[in-house]
Amino acid sequence: MYQQKIAKHLIELNKMDFDNTFNTMTTIHTNSERRFFHFVDKNPMFDDNSQKAIYEYLVSSRKHKFEYKPQIDENYEIPSASPLEDDVCKG
C-alpha cells in the first residue's frame, strides 16, 4: 500500500513538472513569436508571399501546440487511492 502511495505522488509530481514546463515553454514561444511577427512586418526583405507562408507556418505551429496539451491531460491518469490504504499506513 505504501508503494502505491509513493507511485501516486511520483505521478502527480511528473504531471506538475510537465504542466510547469509546458507553461514556461508556451510563454517563451508566445513572446518569441510576437517579436518575430514584428520583425517580419517591419523588414522589407520579406515580400507578401513570404510573409503569408511564415504566418501560416506559425499559426499551424500554435494550433498544434494547443492541441498537444489537452491530449496529454486526457491520457494522464492518476491512480485513485484504495480505501484501506490509510488504515494500513496508520496501523
pLDDT block averages, 10 residues each, the chain of length 91? 86 91 92 89 88 88 86 76 51 45
At residue 82, the pLDDT reads: 54
Cβ contact 40:54 at 8 Å: yes
Q: What share of the chain is helix, strand, coil (3-state, %, to 5)?
A: 80, 0, 20
pTM attached to this predicted model: 0.68
Distance CA 74, CA 35 (A): 32
Cβ contact 86:2 at 8 Å: no
